[in-house]
Amino acid sequence: MTVVTRFAPSPTGHLHIGGARTAAFCWLFARHFGGKFLLRIEDTDLERSRQEYTDSILASMIWLGLECEGEPLYQTKRFDVYNEYIDRLLASGNAYWCECSPEKVEAMREKARAEGGKPRYDGCCRQKGLGAGPGRVVRLAAPATGRVVFEDMVKGHVAFDVAELDDMVLRRSDGAPTYNLAVVVDDITMNVTHVMRGDDHVNNTPKQILLYEALDAAQPKFAHVPMILGPDRQKLSKRHGAKAVIEYEEDGLLPEALVNYLVRLGWSHGDQEIFTMEELVQFFDGTSLNSSAAAFDPEKLLWINAQHLRALSAEALLPRVKPFLERIEAPCADDALALRVIPLFQPRTSTLVELAEAMKGLLLPAAEVAYDAAAVAKSLTPEGREHVRVLKERFAGLASFDKDAVHHALHSYVEDNGLKFKAVAPALRVALLGSGGGPDLAEAMAAIGQEVSVARLEKALSL
RNA sequence: GUCCCCAUCGUCUAGCUGGCCCAGGACAACGCCCUUUCACGGCGUCGACAGGGGUUCAAAUCCCCUUGGGGACGCCA
């Protein structure tokens, strides 16, 4: 039997990190077992569903590298299928028409709540033998007693008393199917073998199992992954602080790093922290999932991202930083130059945004270098300027300008004059880079080249 | 209120078929080293088995209770 998983977002917002993690788990699980990963758009809430959100979710999935098999399935296009299944339930006596108004049902619930019980519909239309009619809904004729039991892949043994469940609505008065009905029908018809979803759905599971039973259909395996909580340990949701995946994209995060971080939240493989997508596929088999909720830690995400950023080759990184360079008006005209500059900042930055900003400082022509006033005042002293002046001449006269050549020129100047390297480095650094921090001087000069290096020093001397 | 789930350092976690754990790794914090700066890196410090009962020769690991946290109770998904 081939494994089939599915991710089923509702297009009422952008894809947020909780959903992204669930999607990643589903995708990984299917990949690991050589199965299929399907996508289903749960857009039956006509009020809140929007096409733009569907587009956004799809785009985020692609960005994350979690591509699904075939075309996504839209629930709104499947009302015929749902009605067919509802008719079957009606015919088999597992469902019935109900004429109770929402107000009446709400009153029942209030009453039950007041009496300290579980709010539920009392099933008063069950024996009425009603047929279809305006304002009427179809409800499941749930068994009155017994227990619903299932083995969850992460929670283990879970049991519910059916007395806790009520006769849920299957078909709304407007003819649209309800969530639980649609999910079950879809999972059956899509041949889903493993339902992996958020913890917040465990309570729906017994209701859905009742439907599988009423439909006499085989049940999938369930895996309820714990929620992601905010740094404050409060629930993270679309309406409460959950950042959308696209925001991370804009922040310069690497998709593989986001997936790495998200998956590690609630899953582990020994002490390993950094995983490539390939490793994730190799190791993720649905076990080692944690059963408790995890708090989102932005700092660790950043660290993971930095690790992935450093692991990439300059060639691989170049096309990925380019959009960020353009965004800060430092478009890269010289790929070879950019390729030499990237490695200088890989150990010094943790996002593409930071990388682009750092690169900008070296990509600029001499005339546009921005000097940090405090650093200039501190290091470009008369004495410092003198060092820069002489050094500039020496650099200009170099036949070769690779890192070693520059390094030797620099150090021979220091030795020739009986100086300490520390005495000349700060001035040269500010003159060259405009500020007090940054990469190795010889490396930086070799990267931007002799002409620009000399021009930069000259510019600094004119300050 | 009722039901379901969960409970190891501030955070993510290893460990949970009991002894190798007076609990390991990672992020963060702090310190030292490396060093032309800023980083990277290396080394180290701080820091947890929620509490109480059992079971056992032995419990972070098994059972119960308490407490705490989360989720769900819709003609939302």
Per the prediction, chain A carries an average pLDDT of: 93
Using the CA of A441, which nucleotide's C1' is the nearest one? B36
Band (A242; pLDDT cuts 50, 70, 90): low
With a 7 Å cutoff on the CB, does A424 touch strand B? no
Band (A117; pLDDT cuts 50, 70, 90): confident
What pLDDT, on the 0 to 100 scale, is given for residue A205? 96
Q: Say how far A210 CA is from B23 C1', in Å.
A: 44
Using the CA of A136, which nucleotide's C1' is the nearest one? B75
Band (A237; pLDDT cuts 50, 70, 90): low
Q: Say how far A261 CA is from B19 C1', in Å.
A: 35
Work out the average pLDDT over A351-375. 93
Mark residues 278-317 of chain A whose C-beta is closer than 7 A to nucleic acid strand B.
288, 290-295, 297, 299-300, 303, 310
With a 7 Å cutoff on the CB, does A272 touch strand B? no
Per the annotation, the verdict on A238 as an active-site residue is yes
Work out the average pLDDT over A371-390. 92
Q: Is the pLDDT of residue A241 over 60?
A: no
What pLDDT, on the 0 to 100 scale, is given for residue A191? 97
Chain centroid offset of residue A109 CA: 39
Round to whole Å and give the CA distance between A304 and A257: 6
Contact criterion met (CB below 8 Å) for A5 and A187: no
What pLDDT, on the 0 to 100 scale, is given for residue A240? 55
The closest of A15, A13, A36 to A26, measured between CA atoms, is A36
User: Which one is predicted more confidently, A4 or A164?
Assistant: A4
The closest of A41, A37, A47, A44 to A15, measured between CA atoms, is A41
Mark residues 204-233 of chain A whose C-beta is closer than 7 A to nucleic acid strand B.
204, 226-227, 229, 233
Chain B nucleotides reached by a protein CB under 7 Å? 1-8, 10-15, 24-28, 36-40, 69-77
Q: What is the pLDDT of residues A33-81, one digit of tens each?
A: 999 999 999 998 888 899 999 999 999 999 999 999 999 999 999 999 9
What pLDDT, on the 0 to 100 scale, is given for residue A398? 94
Q: Is the pLDDT of residue A325 over 70?
A: yes
With a 7 Å cutoff on the CB, does A77 touch strand B? no
With a 7 Å cutoff on the CB, does A387 touch strand B? no
Size (chain A), residues: 463
pTM of the model: 0.94
Which of the following is catalytic: A104, A238, A243, A378?
Answer: A238
What pLDDT, on the 0 to 100 scale, is given for residue A116? 76
What pLDDT, on the 0 to 100 scale, is given for residue A463? 80
Q: Say how far A269 CA is from B58 C1', in Å.
A: 29
Q: What is the identity of the amino acid at A53? A: Y
Q: What is the pLDDT of residues A138-153, one digit of tens each?
A: 999 999 889 999 999 9
Band (A21; pLDDT cuts 50, 70, 90): very high
Set out the domains of chain A in order of their start, with CATH numbers: 1-69+226-311 (3.40.50.620), 78-225 (3.40.50.620), 313-363 (1.10.8), 368-461 (1.10.10.350)
Mark residues 434-463 of chain A whose C-beta is closer than 7 A to nucleic acid strand B.
436-443
Contact criterion met (CB below 8 Å) for A154 and A289: yes
Dihedral of CA atoms A272, A276, A282, A285 in degrees, nearest 10, equals 60
Q: What is the pLDDT of residues A256-307, one digit of tens each?
A: 999 999 999 999 999 999 999 999 999 999 999 999 999 999 999 999 999 9
Work out the average pLDDT over A167-178. 94
Q: Is the pLDDT of residue A413 over 80?
A: yes
Burial of A230 (0-12, 13-18, 19+ CB in 10 A): middle
C1' of nucleotide B38: residue with nearest CA: A437
What pLDDT, on the 0 to 100 scale, is given for residue A367? 86
Q: Say how far A64 CA is from B47 C1', in Å.
A: 35
Q: What is the identity of the amino acid at A162? A: V
Work out the average pLDDT over A334-362. 96
User: Which one is predicted more confidently, A216 or A123?
Assistant: A216
Identify which of A332-336, A356-360, A413-417 has the greatest average pLDDT.
A356-360
Using the CA of A99, which nucleotide's C1' is the nearest one? B75
With a 7 Å cutoff on the CB, does A151 touch strand B? no
